[in-house]
Structures are given as C-alpha cells and as structure tokens.
Structure 1
Amino acid sequence: MLWFSVNVYEELYQEFVAEELESLSENLANDLLPFIGEQSDTFSIARTMLRMDQYEHIEYAKVFNNQGDLLSAYHSPQIMQSGTLYRHRELTNELLLKLPFGLDIAPDCIIVVKRIGDPQYSQGRLIISYDLSQALSSSQAKLISSVLPFAGLLVLVAVILVLELQRRSLSPLHQLIHKMRRIEDTKDYDVAVEETGKKEIAELTRGFNSMMSDINRQVEANRQKNALLLRQQEQMEQLANFDSLTGLPNRQFLMTSLSIELARAKRDNRELALMFLDLDGFKLVNDSFGHDVGDKLLCRAADIASECLRKGDILGRLGGDEFIIMLSNNPLITQLKEVAQRLIDNLSRPHHVDEWKIYTGVSIGISLATECDYQASDMVTNADIAMYRSKRNGRGQFTLFTQEMQDDNRRMVRIATNIAYAVESDELSLHYQPKVNCHGVVQGFEALIRWSSKELGFVPPNEFIPIAEQSDKISMITRWVMTQVCRDLPALLAAYGDAIRVSLNLSAHDLKNPKVTEFIVEKMQSLPIAPSTVEFEITESAYLESFHAGNVFFETLRGFGCKIALDDFGTGYSSLSYLTEFNIDTLKIDRQFTSQIGASKRSGLITNTIIEMARHLKLTVCAEGVETHEQAQFLIHHKCDLLQGYLYGRPEPLSTVVANAAKGDCQRLNIVSS
C-alpha cells in the first residue's frame, strides 16, 4: 500500500508539475512576445525570465528567435550554487532547437518547448527544463518519512490483529486513495479528506489536504491569470482590427477581408465592388470648429453610411475622413449607382453636431474586381483614383473607375516626379502679360510660368500647378518664380520705366510654409531696386485658407512698399464681409465675368457693381480676360483702372516683351470705339 500510494503520488505530482510548467511556459511566452521581433529587447527578456526564481526545481530556461539565435538563458540559483548537478542532462542549443513543441517527460526531468506568438506568426521558442528526479526524491522522502512509521505499525498490527482489524485500520487510507484517484480523473483539486484513523494516516491525510489546498490555490490563480490574458487578448484584437473612434473595421482588417473576399470572388467567378468615400470640406470643419466636432462628424457620417448599405456590405475607415465600402454578392452597376446616390443624398444633408449646423458632402469612387484582376491593392488604388476624379468634377458625386483614369493618374505621377527636375534643369520659363490703363499705356506685367518638358512636352500651368500643390512641391516653384522675377525686373524697368509693377502669384501652401515667406522677405530685402515694383497676387479662397498667416506676411511685404492683389474675385467664397478684413490694394475681376460682357446683361451689372464697390473701398480694379473692344469700352466707361487680356497682348518671354518696348508696339494701345 505504501508503494502504491507513492506511485499514485508520483503520477499526480508529475501531472501537476506538467500542468504547472505548461501554464508557466504559456504565461512567459505571452509576456515575452512584446520583446521579441526584428530588434529584440534582451534586457526585458532577461528580466521577465527572472520570475522563475520562485520555482525551486527549474534547472534552466532558454529563449530563441526564429533564426535559432539564443536571446537569453536562465539558470536556477540553486543549480548555480551546486555546480554541475545537471550538466549531464543539459542538451546543446542545436539539440534543443530540434525538440518538438510540447512536453517531453523523461524519468529524471521534464522539458517543455513553447512557441512564442501565434502559430502563423511565430516569433521564437521558449524552452524550460524541470529537475523531476530531485523534486520527486525530496517529495518522496517527505512522504515516506511520514508514512513509514504508520506502515511499520500497520504491519505489526496486521501480524497481531485479525484481517477485520487490518481492514478497519486501512479504511482511511483507501478513502484517501479513492480521493486521489477521483482527483486524477476529474482534475478537481478542491477536495478535503476527513482526518480519521491512526495518527500516521491522519498525518498523511492532513498532508494530502494541505497539498490539495495549495494546488487548488495555484490552479485558481492560474485560471484568473488566463482569464485576464484572454480579456487582454480580446482588447488587443479589438485595437488591432477596429477603429477606436468610429468602431468600424480599420485599414488592416479591411485589407485582410478584401483579400479573402477577392479570392472567393475569383474562385466563384463573381464580381466584387469597392467604394472609396472622402468627406468634402472636412478639413475646413476641423479648422473652423475644432477636432472634437470633426470627430463627432466622422462618427455621425459612419452611422449614416452604415444605414445606407445593403445587408452583407462592409463599411470601414481607412483614416482621416476616408472610408471604404466593400460590396459583395455580385452587385450590378445599377445597384452600385443606387447605393452611391443614397450615400451622397444622406451625407450631403446638414449635420447637427453639438450646437453647430454643419454642411458637408461626399465624393465617391467605385472600382470593380474584374478590372484589377482581383488584386486588393490595385482595387483600392482604382477606387481612390475615381474618387479624386469626382472631386475634380465638382465634388458631391460618384465616379466609376475606367482605364482612362489610370492613364491620367500615371501622367499626374509623371508630372509630380518631374517637377523637381524641371526646376533644377531650367525647363521652366516666365512669360509676361501686360496690364494697361484706360489709355492703353502699359502699367505693369503679370509673371506667368510655362513648362516645356523634354519628357512630357508642353505642360500647361492649370495642369501642373494643382499637382505641385498636392505633392507639396509648389514651394520650390514659387522660389524659382521669385528668383527669376528679381532677375528680370531690371530689364523690364529699363524698357518700360520705373513706374510699372510686376505681379506674381502665390499659393495657399506658400503662406503656410514659413520657409517660403522667409525666402520672399529676404529677396525683398536684397532687391537692388525698389520693392514697390513688385505685386503679389493670391486668390480669394487661398487667402481665406491661410487668413491669419497671410495677413502677417502681407503686412511685412507692405512695409517694403509691395502691393497685394486679390485674384479671381467672385469665384471663391464671395463673401463681401471678407473685403473689410483683407489687407489688399488691388481687386482683380475674374475672366468669367469679363467674358460675358455684352453677352449677358447680368454679368455687366455684376462687373459694374464690383468696380463701384472697389472704388468706394479705395481699391485699384484690374479686369483680366479682356479680348474684345466691346469689353474694353465697357470697362473703360465704368472707370476700371487696369485691363489685362489678349486684346492688349499675350504672355510673351522677357526678350519679346523688351523688344516690343524698343519698337514702341506696347507702350500705347489705342482703343477702338464703337
């Protein structure tokens, strides 16, 4: 019976140790995961490994990465003090790396090999060796020392007493063994055996109860730790796959889901559609109302978009104000148009956020899986290209991707990549268009940039300037124009006199870039001639986009004597209240009003009103796009100060403009009256 109890105890102890090692290795592997990667944190790994000091019979532990490199090794302090007690059992690193994952139970030790990370994204392995022989010897010694006296007494009683007395004496031990067997089957350590019988059995029972109590506490502690780890894992999965603001699937989850759905659609020969949504004017909402209102607007837009979708469609947020909708179930073009129009109609309505009533819209691009050979990245790119086409076409609409858009996008990329080369290789040039007074006398010029590329040919300004602004390369163009104007000014002043003024255009990006404004100020300071001969033109929408920074910058320029002109007036925000806040000297009437003079009575009235308003505000008025004598006569009659257009001269290179002055061709232009 003593031998039987020891064997059962050994089995339970070995099983208990195996379970503890399994839990310990699982917890350590999870704790080591954040420190293992391309640049492993060996200090944090070693500090984590030191937690095994509390386990008495662990011999050593080692951490390897996926390349088989040893990142950290732990040796028990007791083993280190006792010298070479286990060296005959320590395997080399090469042999350890060949061990399979799991438990390897030998007669004298237990080795557990645990994978660090998920099976599909393993970061390395953790190997722990437990000295089973020493632990069992110590435990058996304690068990035998407590049971042996009872066993001797039991033998004596068995010799003296009858079998019935022997049965009664061994009854508590049978009860204990029964409990142990039950524990082995049920793995329920929350048990207690009544302490009856002889002293030895009572001591054994007491020890058994104490051991079961300790094991039960450890199991409960491990259960709580595992529950905590599961909750943390769920939270990490939530953060990894879902947007924290809107709760929608994020980019990572969307791309994974899109790849899976595309593979299924390709296998089943089905269509799959993707919508790329971008809120119109969202940046202005953030700048005007603050990011808190912007975040609430994004959440509301996400809720509205979700209500507009079909069952089975997936909505996710890429980032910022960009959303993606994945439409499966082989959608028809008519269905895509219905969903897109429903989104536009609902998202274009006023949104009530806090106490604000916010107007916004949405531009949508649609791409199909069959047009990109079921490639996820190409499908997103195509939808993005189509979305930007919607924005260029006026916003608040949807566009279905075509191959022509891809060709246009490639040209945009080529233009963006060649801008820097154009600046460095002198492919850019300046042309000057004259501005005349009512008597036809040249009063100034506007510097207009031209680009003749060796690779792309002639690239018009209205094509490459927006691309330069989007790719953050407009600042280098502005610097080049500023430098070239400063070089050309002496020749223009020599040809047309010191009273003329040369104007150049600025972008909203220039006003936001302190380096550009500092560069312009330095050029004005170092200009060998009077800075009053330079005028800076900026559109009304660009001025509003950088209103405060623009006012500070323009005040500095005005200190040098420079003039400020508001270009394209009436085509931007068109709020008359802004004119009282703009620090400008000249108001330029846009060509869309000038071109309708004579053809539209309303355009004539608006133009006259602008001129009268500017005169009352003591602003100089310049009308651009003057191409007919009828337009010129109307403007002169209503006392427009300056006229600019093909009627008086096209933009020409500096050499031609100077030559015209020498011939006297452009010094005075006669206006033919009706």
Structure 2
Amino acid sequence: MIEKSPHNRNKVARRILLSFVVASLIPVLVLGVLSFHQVSQQLYQQSYDVLQKSSKDYGLRFIDRLVLAESALRLLANRIERSSRGLRDQNLFRDQKLQKQFSDLAIITNNGQRASLLGDTRMVPYLTEQEIESVRSGLTLIKPIESNEIGVKQIWIALNFNENSPDAGILMAELHPEALWEVDNLGVNQLMVMTDVGESWFSSLPSTSLPNQLLTNLLDNYSGSFNHNLGNNAYLGGFWQAPIANMFASPDLIIVHAQPRSMALSAIDYFTKVYPPLILLTVLIVAFLSTKLIAKYLSPLTALRIATERIAEGQFDYQVDIHSKDEFEILGDSFNEMTRRLRSQFEIQSTMAEIDRQILSVLNADEIVETALTRLPGIFFSDLISIAKFDAEKQLIVEVHTRRDGQHFDLLDQSFPINDEELTDLQKNQGSVVEINNQPRLPAYLEVLKLTGNWHFLVIPVVVNGSISATISFAYQQTKIISNDLKAIARSFGDRIAVALSNAAWEEKLFHQAHFDGLTGLANRLVLNERLHQEIARANRDSKQLAVFFLDLDRFKNVNDSLGHAAGDELLIQIAEHLSNSIRTTDLVVRMSGDEFVVLITDIDNPALISMIAEKVLKAVDTTSIVAGQSVKSTASMGIAMYPTDAETPEDLLKFADSAMYYAKNDGRANFRFYSAEMTAKALENIKLEHDLREAISKDEIIIYYQPKFDSEKQVIGAEALIRWNHSELGMISPAKFIPIAEQSMLIVEIGRWVLEQTCEFIKSFTNLGIEPVPISVNISGVEFDRPDIVNKTAEILKRTRVNPDFIELELTENVAIGNREACIERMHQLKALGLRLAMDDFGTGFSSLSYLQDLPLDVLKIDQHFIRELETGINSQAIVRAILALADGLHMQVIAEGVETESQLKFLQDHQCKLFQGFLFSRPIPANEFVKLLLGKEQKNHLGLGNV
C-alpha cells in the first residue's frame, strides 16, 4: 500500500521541489535533450531488433515449409508406390493441396531419364552426379534453378522414390513460389534469400547487387543488422542464417528483411516533431503540479523502477506490489502480467531448446524425460505431471514417472496391462491433445496414479514408429480452460519426446546388435574383451583370481549335417539358456562363434572350487534336447585358464583356455582340462603337424602298410590296412600322434577315403599278379562314420575301382555305436548292402551293451590287444576273452585276436577255440610289396617266427 507523504517528511520530494524552485526550466530542458537522444537510440535499436527477429521468424517458417514439402513429396512417393497404376494414376497429382505446394512434379529414373508428371519434361532440371549421390544416400536435395523472373529462382526438392531402394529413382518437385516465399505475408518488409556463399535465391529489393561491405557482413556473421544504401534508397535491415544444411542437401541460407529507412524510422521522425512541444508543455505542467504529484507518484514509480531493474537482471518471477487505486495500480498489474508472459515464453523456449539439445547430444531418453518432468509443470501450471511408457506390442505399461509438488516418483515396480481399446483411442488421437474430465472410469495410464477427487487431465499421446510409445499427462485439481496456443505447445513437446524415445530405441538396438549375439542373446566377443579388462583390473586390485572356461560342443557338426542348420540353431539357443542358468549373475556367458562358448567366472577366493564349478557347467550342457522333432544328446569339451596363474592378459587367457579345450577333446570329450605350459608347446607342434598333414597325400608321404591275419595253421587269410606318415623332415610319425590331429581337423575323412580307394586298387592288382585275393580290412574313423554321406562315398569308390566288395572289410570301433542307435544300425545295414563285411575293432573297451550288440549287423569281432597282453598275468582278462569268444560263437561271428605276441598267448587262444590271429608273433605291419611276396609264398619263413619281420 502506497501512502502519501507530506513534503517535509520526504527528502526526495523536498529536493525535487527545491530543484523546480531554483531552476525548473534548465533541468527539464537538459532532461528533454537527453531523453530525446536516448529514446531515439532506443527506437533505432528497436527497428533493428524487429527486422532481425522478423528475418529469424521468417527463416524458421521457411524451414518448416521445406520440411512440410519434403513430407508431402515423400507421402506422394508412398502413394504412387502403393497405387496399382503407379505413375499413370493422374488422380494422385490432381490433389489441390499438392498443386498449391508444387508447381511441377518429375521423376528421374535410375538410368538418368527425366520425366515431368505435370508439365514439360524439358523444364525438369538436370542433377549432377554429386547431387544424385546425395539423394541416393538418403538426403533430401534442395536445388535452385534460374527462372525468367528477375531476382527469383525456381526451387526444386528431390528425394529417393523409395527410401529402402536407392536405385528405384528420384522424385522431384518444383516448390510453388507463392507457397514457398509467402511474399504476401511480408507486409512492408523487403525480402532477400541468399546462400552462405552469396548466391541469391529470392529478392524483392530494388537491387540484387549488394555492396561488398554489406555482403561480407552477411556472409561472415550468423545474424545481425545493417544500415546501407541499396539502389537509390537507404535501407535498414536484419538478417539470420538458417541452418538448413543440417537437414537437407543444400547450403545454409541467409534470410534478409529490410525496410526503407524513412519507413523504418517514421516513429523517430514523428517523435522529433512532437517531443519539443511536449517538453515545453511538460515543464509548465510540472511546474504547476509538481508539489501536488510528488508525494502521490514517487512511491509507485520507485516500485516500478525496482521491478524494471529486476526484470532487466532476468528475474522474471519478480512482482511489483502497487495499491494506489489509480492507473499506477493498473500499470503495476499490467507489468506483472507482462512479466508472467515473458517468464512463460522464456521457460517454453528454454525448455524446448534444452530438450532439442538433449535429443541431439544425449543417447539416454531418461534424461529428456527428467527434463520434461522438471520444467513442464511450470509452463502448463499443472498440479501433477505423469509420463507413462508403453510396450504397445505386449499391451503393457512398463514405466510411469510422475512429479507433484516438486517430488519425483517412479510408480511401477512391474509392468501393468493396458487394454486394446485404450491403445486404439490413443492411436486415434495422435497428433492432438486429449482432455479428460469427470469420467466414471479413467484409462489405465491415469488410474495407476491413484488420485482421489475430481481431476482434470490434459493427455498428449506420443507415437514412435507408428505405435503408441508413451503419454504425457498434465493433471489439474480444478477444471482449467487450456488455450489452443498452450495445447499447440503441449503437442510440440509431445513430438519432441517422441523423437527422443525414437532415437533412444534406435541407439539401444544398435548397441544390442554390437554387443550381443543375434541368435542366443548372449554377450559377444566385444563385451567379453571389455569385461575381461575390467575384471582383471578388479582382481588385481582385490588380490583375487578369475577363470576363463572355453567350451566347444562335441559333434555339433553332426547335428547340422543330419538335421539341418535350423535345428543346430535351436540347439545352440537351448545350450545358451542352460549355461546362463548354471552360473552366478555376476559371471558372464559369451558365444564366441559357431558352437564355441566362453564362461567368465569372477571373484574367486578359493581356486579349489573351480573344478566343482566346471563340473556344474558341463553338467548343464550334458542334456538331451528335442530339436526338429528329434532327441539330441549334447556334451561339451572345456578348457580352463586362470588369472593370474596361467596368464595376465585377456588374449592369453582365451588362447590358453582354447588350447586346454582341445586337450579335453583329445582325452575323450565331455570333460575339462586345466591349462598347463606344456600344452602351448604341444599345441604349436600340432598346428605344424596339421599344416603338413594337409599336404601329406599330395606329397606321397602317406603310405599304407598291411598287417597280415593268420589262421591256426599260420596261413595268411587276410590283412589290415594301416597308414603310416613318412614326414619329409621328421621321418616316420606314429599314427597315435597324427590320427587325433586328423580327426580334430576333419582331415581324417579325406585320408580315410584315400586309404579305402588305395586298398581297393591293391586288391584288384592281385588278379594281374595271379594271386588269389584275400580280404583286407580298412579302419573307419568315428568322425567319418558319423557323416551322412559315408554310404554314398563308399559306393562311389567301389564303383570307380570295380573291386569285388567281398574282399573289403570295414573295421569300426564301439564308440561309433554309442550315438543315435537307430541311425547307426541303419547306416551299417546300408554298408552291408554294398557287399562289404563289417568288423568291430577293439571290442571290450567301449560302452555298448550286449543287447545293443545283437542288433548290429557285424561279421567279425576283434578282441582288443589290451586283454591279449594280460592273458599271462591277469585272471580277469582271461575271463573276458573267454566271454567274448563264447559271445561271438553264440552270435555266429568270427573272432580275431589282435596283438598276439607270445606262444603262450597263442596257446590259450587256441585252447578256447579262437581260430584267427593278428600280431607281432606272426608279422608286423609290412609294405605292400612285401605283403605281395608273402602271398606269393616268397620269404614265408621270414614271417613265421617271433618278430622275424
């Protein structure tokens, strides 16, 4: 409340009164001159500011028009593509909205042909190679073309006819000049639009040629004002550089608005004429009324001055308090309303700018949501704001963020369902603002707020990629009338939130693709490498250990070959799930490639527990899964490397664990091995041997020896083909050393087929030599037998060599029969159907049951030499040999005892009705030519003694 003060109680009032008494005229005149100068300068500046703001506003609208034109053109392209008649559908081009936007439409095919859709094809501009490349890369091209109208260029817009197929052609449109430039809306302003290199696109100024100084000023500054002579007139103007290069294949544009100086400064001219008389009149009035008005107006003016200073300092929430019950009170209220509007506008622009900045720079949409929760309630004067995120595909509300009375709350601990009707209603209202008031039942995204009483809601649907992604809800405890302008602003914020969520979803998708396996969802090599570096640093800091498990599925290739890759993928998904469930949440499972997995075990205090963890992991893999309708048994071989015991870098840990895994495979699979330093040297040796083995056949280093088989009369009744490797540098290499390498690298398949073919050719040569052929057995590896093409490839070799299959015997080990029983038996029958004999080698060392054995179509059992060697010392071995002989006799199979080296062994076997023998007592493996001599009866004596060969 402003109170009147007598003059004698107010020092300022006494001074003012004294000033007017002493010299009333001079101070007023001086004040008038100063005021005149200041007001003139302010009017000048105001004119510049208005023109500069006008150029910026025009520039922003110009960008909106370009964006709208781009959207309309892309919509037209979609309509053309969907139309059954395509470009022939003229109804697509008769749309009045399109005709108001575009003067002409054209298409450029992928081979460069131009065709106008509305006018003359000759008027369609040519595009440079660089411009075509820009459009194909996904950018929208803005291209100016000289026109007949002076100072105005035709503006064409071009984009890919099909966004997903850059080679489908280019759709172009000439923007309608009236719709593009909006010259009618310029009012008294003159407009010039030019590029940031000085090329003019449009000019309504009397001279399109600008002075060099002015042109330099326009090109060098982002925005500003000028005062120059253009043609015969002086102009005041403002300019602003529109950054359209960020959105289109186009240079940035400089928007210039100008007015003749006489028009722009008309207020100053009027002020110059009116001000001096007013000063004089004021002096007279002030002199007369000063004593009466000082007390009344001094306090309100002081309050307004203080308020003005506060506003100048940016304190838009400052309110002036005047209760003089006159115009000063009205002025104070108007001043307060002005500051409120300024505060609201400033807050709106600031919030939009902040959200736009975050959209461009922040990958996490949660920060943008937090900004909206914090700043939007003040803009829309709401009592509560809520942002709900949806999973429209699953019809779930997954997150609800609210802010009320400055407090931020996250309401949902778990997903909340939303029905299809509510989603459809939101979808239908996209692009608008929904008001909800006094409804008996609130939608789920508002019901979850659990508000009591009568609330009025303003809801903005947020649509991302065509589906509802979120809602922004403003709640008011009392019904509030929301202006259309405020609704438009609310819609704008909704669009910005949609862009933010879309960007975040895309970034999340890219991140997931870069860091996780697309099939199993497990982490990939990149995540493993980053995590290993982190865990090594942490283990080093905390003096702990970590372990790397390298797993490779056993015989996984058989699944792909027999059931198909889709079944293999299904099995990998199940294995990945089993592995993930077998470890702690702090550990990590990674799919390296194919059927290889890595498990990272961290925070190890007691290394003795690693074996237990390894057994648990292998047990998780050791399952029987149903894939492609078939029961598939899966196991894995695993190698383990420890930090810091075995290695101190991620690379070495993975390499050493990999080496240990190969040792686990060589030791029989379905087990694990810890890394040791000896493994590295042996692994390097194996790598070299594998490399040399690949070239051994072509270099004739692989040779075949034949170990004869004898009957009780010590007559040759057959032989077994055995391979030897005569390395050019290392000499003879034991099969025990290179056969596992061949099996691991799958070279055993090629070698096995080569041995079979050579044996067939060898048997055929007997006829030419006049020798009665004898059966020769060839060993078939389990790797080779498991291949689905074993039967076909064997048949091809028999057909190509034209050998009598009665003299070919295939030796299999028990291990080949422990897989898929039905498939194994069927494959054996198919081989028997080719005329071949089948023998089971090393019988007694495998795992097949007797019931299983009776179903196998075998002709021969070979007693493993382990039992033969222990006949003289082991009672158990004698019992096993007797049992095998009795079993074979019951199944009507022949029995061969291999590894017979002493006469006492031979006598035991003969005493128990064993009739066929093989071993050093009779002959060592010999080259082919010596075996031929043996069959011819030459040097027979040299091969009938103990170790005479």
Of 888, 901, 905 in structure 2, the residue corresponding to residue 627 of structure 1 is 901
Amino acid at match of 1:234: E
Alignment match, 1:341: 612
Alignment match, 1:301: 579
Per the TM alignment, residue 502 of structure 1 is displaced from its structure 2 partner at its CA by 0.7
Higher relative contact order (CA 8 A, sep 6+): 1
| C-alpha displacement of 1:477 | 0.9
> In 1, Cα distance between the equivalents of 2:582 and 2:345?
57
Q: What secondary structure sits across from 1:500 in the alignment?
A: coil
CA, structure 1 residues 342+548, in 2 after alignment: closer, same or farther (shift >3 Å)?
closer
Pairing 1:179–2:341 present: yes
C-alpha separation between the residues in 2 aligned to 1:665 and 1:343? 57
Q: Compared with structure 1, are the counterparts of its residues 316 and 340 closer, same or farther at alpha carbon in structure 2 (3 Å cutoff)?
A: farther
Name 1:109's counterpart in structure 2. Answer: 241
Q: Which residue of 2 aligns with 1:68?
A: none
**Residue 482 and residue 359 in structure 1: after superposition, are their counterparts in 2 closer, same or farther (change >3 A)?**
closer
Q: Secondary structure at the match of 1:634?
A: helix
SS in 1 for 2:697: helix
Aligned 1:22-61 pairs, distance under 5 A: 46=136, 48-50=138-140
Change (3 A) 1:639 1:665: same
Equivalent position SS for 1:439: coil
C-alpha distance 274-354 of structure 1, shift in aligned 2 (>3 A): closer
Q: 1:515 and 1:304, CA in 2 relative to 1: closer, same or farther beyond 3 A?
A: closer
Give the residue type in structure 2 aligned to 1:179: R
Aligned partner of 1:446 among 720, 725, 729: 720
Identify the match of residue 196 of structure 2 among 89, 92, 108: 89
Distance (Å, rounded) in 1 between the aligned partners of 2:198 and 2:849: 82
Distance 1:218 1:404 in 2: 69
Shift of 1:359: 9.1
**2:533 and 2:61 mapped to 1: Cα distance?**
44
Alignment correspondent of 1:520:
794
- Residues 492, 192 of structure 1: CA spacing in aligned structure 2 closer, same or farther, 3 A cutoff? closer
TM-score (norm 2): 0.51
Query: Going by fraction, where is helix more abundant, 1 or 2?
Result: 1
Q: 2:780 matched to which residue of 1?
A: 506
| AA of the residue aligned to 1:603 | S
- State the Cα deviation string for residues 306-354 of structure 1 (Å, max 9, x = none): 27xxxx654444356644344566x67xx33322333325754898889
Determine the structure 2 residue equivalent to 1:257: 531
Q: Which moved more, 1:559-568 or 1:360-369?
A: 360-369
1:416 Cα deviation from its structure 2 partner:
1.3
Q: Is the 8 A contact 1:274 1:368 kept in 2?
A: yes
Q: SS at the partner of 1:306?
A: coil
- Residue pair 2:52, 2:240 contacting (<8 A) in 1 also: no
Is the Cα contact below 8 Å between 2:900 and 2:919 reproduced in 1?
A: yes
- How far apart, in 2, do the equivalents of 1:19 and 1:185 lie? 23
How many angstroms apart in 1 are the aligned matches of 2:642 and 2:654?
Answer: 8
Q: Could you tell me how far apart the structure 1 residues matched to 2:745 and 2:670 are?
A: 23
Query: Separation in 1 of the partners of 2:637 and 2:48?
Result: 79
Task: Write out aligned runs for 1:578-617 (5 A).
Answer: 578-617=852-891
Distance 2:718 2:487 in 1: 98
Partner residue in 2 for 1:366: 641
Alpha-carbon deviation of 1:403? 2.9
* 1:447 Cα offset (Å): 0.4
User: Residue in 2 aligned with 1:133?
Assistant: 255
SS of the counterpart of 2:862? strand
Paired residue for 1:78?
Answer: 175
Most deviating of 582-591 and 3-12: 3-12
Paired residues for 1:285-296 under 5 Å: 295-296=573-574
Within 1, Cα distance between the matches of 2:336 and 2:59?
A: 21
The Cα shift of 1:487 comes to 2.9
- CA RMSD in angstroms comes to 5.4
Larger mean Cα displacement after TM superposition, 562-571 or 521-530: 521-530
| Paired residue secondary structure (1:484) | helix
Alpha carbons of 1:360 and 1:506: their partners in 2 closer, same or farther (altered >3 Å)? closer
Percent identity between matched residues is 25
Report what 1:484 is aligned to. 758
1:446-501 Cα distance to aligned partner (Å, 9 max, x none): 00000011134322112212211221222221232123212322455677953520
Q: Which runs of 5+ in 1 are unaligned?
A: 25-41, 64-71, 93-103, 115-124, 149-154, 194-207
Q: 1:508, CA displacement in angstroms?
A: 3.1
User: Secondary structure at 1:649's aligned position in 2?
Assistant: coil
Question: C-alpha offsets along residues 372-416 of structure 1, whole Å, 9 cap, x if unaligned?
Answer: 5x4433321111112322343455665443332111111111111
**Secondary structure of the structure 2 residue equivalent to 1:440:** coil
Matched residues in 2 for 1:398 and 1:305: separation? 17
* Inter-partner Cα distance in structure 1 for 2:380 and 2:612: 71
2:551 to 278, 293, 298: 278
The question of 1:653 aligning with 2:927 is answered yes
How far apart are the structure 2 equivalents of 1:464 and 1:175? Answer: 93
Instruction: Return the alpha-carbon distance in structure 2 between the equivalents of residues 215 and 61 of structure 1.
Output: 31
Match of 2:684 in 1: 410
Deviation at residue 443 of structure 1 after TM alignment: 0.8
Given residue 255 of structure 2, which amino acid in structure 1 is its aligned partner? S
Instruction: Tell whether 2:342 aligns with 1:220.
Output: no
Structure 1 residues 670 and 415, CA, compared in 2 at 3 Å: closer, same or farther? Answer: closer
Q: Which moved further from structure 2: 376-385 or 554-563?
A: 554-563
CA contact (8 A) 2:135 2:158 kept: no
Q: Take 2:728 and 2:599, find their aligned partners in 1: how far apart are those partners?
A: 41
Task: Output the amino acid matched with 2:814.
Answer: E
Q: Could you tell me how far apart the structure 2 residues matched to 1:18 and 1:648 are?
A: 102
**Whole-Å separation in 1 of the counterparts to 2:783 and 2:248:** 54
What SS is found at the alignment partner of 1:614?
helix
Distance 1:529 1:484 in 2: 11
8 Å contact kept, 1:568–1:590: yes
> 2:552, 2:636 within 8 Å by CA — same for their partners in 1?
yes
CA contact (8 A) 2:622 2:633 kept: yes
Distance in 2, Cα, partners of 1:489 & 1:278: 44
The structure having more radius of gyration, on CA atoms, is: 2
CA contact (8 A) 1:297 1:353 kept: no
Structure 2 residue aligned with 1:569, among 843, 847, 858?
843
Q: Deviations over 1:3-43 (max 9, x none)?
A: 5994796598489789999x99xxxxxxxxxxxxxxxxx98
Answer yes or no: is the 8 Å Cα contact 1:58–1:128 preserved in 2.
no
Q: Distance in 1 between matches of 2:559 and 2:240?
A: 68
Gaps of 5+ in 2: 1-42, 69-131, 144-153, 161-168, 182-191, 200-220, 224-238, 268-273, 279-325, 353-375, 382-481
2 CA distance for matches of 1:648 and 1:73? Answer: 86
Q: Quickly say closer, same or farther: Cα 1:166–1:20, change in 2 above 3 A.
A: farther
Find the counterpart in structure 1 of residue 505 from structure 2: 231
